[in-house]
A and B are shown apart, each in its own frame.
Chain A
Amino acid sequence: MAAIIEVRDLCHTYSVGTPFEHDAIKHMDFAVEKGEFLGVIGHTGSGKSTLIQHLNGLLKPTCGDVLLGGESIWKDKQTTRRARFRVGLVFQYPEYQLFEDTVFRDIAFGPKNMGLSEPEIKERVLRAADFAGVNPASLDKSPFDLSGGQKRRVAIAGVIAMEPEIVVFDEPTAGLDPAARSSLLENIGAYQKATGATVLMVSHSMDDVAMMADRLLVLNEGQIEMLGTPAQVFENAERLQQIGLTVPQVTSLFLRLHELGLPVDPATYTVEGALKQLLRLKGGA
């Protein structure tokens, strides 16, 4: 599997030379595989936000490098600028960035900045709106007339309209109710399947991320704590709890069952996986 993003010995220090100097990222090394869904977990202060802003060149490394397709994004100004369009970044509460007169024009902002033709822009906007679940009737309306959930979808459409090879979502479901949350996650999953894009999702919710990710990147105090499949990561549930992270509800349950002596896999993290194992137990006993 080819690595599409490589982070090599990355460091980032804020406010260098002042009394507020602070190492947000300390020597991080990892690679993201093309087409994978990578979950990024870490508590506040672990370096998550700083890390993702390096991937599209918004922040410059204090040391180390970021490579896109094998090439450093800091090679020259044009490469850095192109990285903005190749790596789409959806910030937390993205609905607070909307500004255009109509939903259509707001979604078109990214493609416009890419210098695309009008027909190409229109095509991309419609495609993106569809993927993000934006109500087509809203395209001519002002984004400020929409509900919070719809506004968020418009903001997300604005990023995927650039048709980036990689999309990074920072807590995309923050503040949404359970129905809206699962709907949005479904859209994200469908988007990835349809386009083959590489997706990174930063989240606090282990439950959400465990369901969707191929691998999990766990950050702690500016460094990588673990990187592996959900099953591999949840085997270290104790360590996760030590660094202030929760495990999925199912995993807590199965850890306890394992402790009590039942022959179950303590790293189980989905309800389906849980049921399968429990039903098998019955069959065996």
Chain B
Amino acid sequence: MGNAISVQELHFTYPSQNGGNPHPVFDGLNVNIEEGSFVAVLGHNGCGKSTLTKQCNAILLPEGGSVSVFGMDTKDEALLLEIRRTVGMVFQNPDNQMVANVVEEDVAFAPENLGVPSEEIRRRVDNALRAVGMYDYRTHAPHLLSGGQKQRIAIAGVIAMQPRCIVLDEPTAMLDPHGREDVMRTIETLNRENGITVILITHHMTEAIRADRVIVLQEGRILTDGTPKQVFTQVELLKSAGLDVPATTQIIHELNEAGFDLPPDALSTEECAQALYSRFTAKA
């Protein structure tokens, strides 16, 4: 499998605001995202996560180094539309992504922009809505729906472009637990069943755990990069970066410090419960 996104020696600085100093974000970042993978990106606010995602579909361009998307260089103006069609983006605020008053008309926005013929748009809209489980709401007004439903429609709007990769920038930040679960399930299905590369920016450990790979950014640099088990067991490192560690990992970490010998990577509730159970009943 090739690389969906390839970032080489990325240098980028935000222009100065209100007469302050320009704010350097990246100075030589290197990262490759494999096609078909599900990657979670974590980091405190201001570490460069959002800036990185905007580099992936040429909303922002590198000052130094390069970003290529499925082999296309983001600096190539001629490929701009193709790049944006291939890497779709979903943002945090469900309301500020909606262009139309009717669900199906909003989902149709992207294919309309791409000049897709009318009957084909109809087919894509229906398929996209079915893929996110919102087909029954196609003639509803979006502003009357819940946050989770709105975000699923935003995702449908992106799928209608038939992208190969979807980047989601904290899509569940404004949602309640139900909405969060709905969105996560939708993303997982798209990745596992449709092979769409997913890059998820989040603060929630419960979401990052579901990814294949976790990248932690700090001050524009990669702090650690690996599977959820590899990353979340580095308790001290994560805490120093101001990030949460799952309670299961914390408990095992503390017990191991007290002399126990528990598997440090028993991340999920079930794994952790089993590990603790076998340890505490082994004496019998």
Query: What is the interface of chain A, defined by CB distance below 8 A to chain B?
Result: 43-44, 145, 147-149, 174-180, 204, 207, 244-246, 248-250, 252-253, 256-257, 260-262, 271, 274-275, 278-279, 281-282, 285
Contacts and interface: CB of A to CB of B under 8 A. Distances in A.
Given A248-B247, A256-B273, A271-B251, A278 B280 contact: yes
A256 B247 contact: no
A179 B178 CA distance: 24
- Rank and list the top 7 A-B pairs by shortest CB-CB distance, nearest first: A179-B242, A249-B247, A256-B273, A178-B244, A285-B283, A260-B277, A177-B45
B90 to A, nearest CB: 16
A207 B177 CA distance: 13
B207 to A, nearest CB: 13
Contact of A204 (B177, B203, B243, B276): B177
Interface string B128-169: 000000000000000000110000000000000000000000
B218 to A, nearest CB: 11
Contact of B247 (A176, A244, A250): A250
Contacts of B120: none
Contacts of B179: 44
A274 to B, nearest CB: 5
Nearest to A257: B273
Given A260-B273, A281-B280, A282-B280, A271 B45 contact: no
* Chain B residues touching A, range: 35 or more
A233 B277 CA distance: 25
A278 B280 CA distance: 9
Interface of B: 18, 44-46, 92, 146-147, 170, 173-174, 176-179, 203, 242-244, 246-248, 250-251, 254-255, 258, 260, 269-270, 272-274, 276-277, 280-281, 283-284
Contact of B203 (A178, A245, A253): A178
Contact of B44 (A177, A245, A248, A275): A177
Interface centre among A249, A250, A252, A271 (most CB of B within 10 A): A249
A271 to B, nearest CB: 5
A253 B280 contact: no
Contacts of A279: 255, 258
Contacts of B251: 250, 253, 271, 274-275, 278
A257 B276 contact: yes
Contact of A43 (B173, B176, B255, B274): B176
B276 A148 contact: no
Contacts, number: 93
A275 B247 contact: no
Contacts of B44: 177-180
Contacts of A148: 45
A44 B269 contact: no
Nearest to A248: B247
B248 A253 contact: yes
Nearest to A92: B174
Interface centre among A149, A245, A256 (most CB of B within 10 A): A256
Contacts of A260: 273-274, 277
B247 A204 contact: no
A178 B174 CA distance: 15
Nearest to A45: B146
Given A43-B177, A178-B244, A244-B178, A262 B272 contact: no
Nearest to A174: B174
Nearest to B92: A175
Contacts of A262: 276-277, 280-281
B219 to A, nearest CB: 13
A145 B146 CA distance: 31
Contact of A253 (B45, B272, B281): B272
Given A43-B176, A44-B178, A245-B177, A257 B277 contact: yes
A207 to B, nearest CB: 8
A178 B177 contact: no
Interface centre among A149, A176, A278 (most CB of B within 10 A): A278
A204 B176 contact: yes
A175 B170 CA distance: 9
A274 B29 CA distance: 40
A43 B46 CA distance: 30
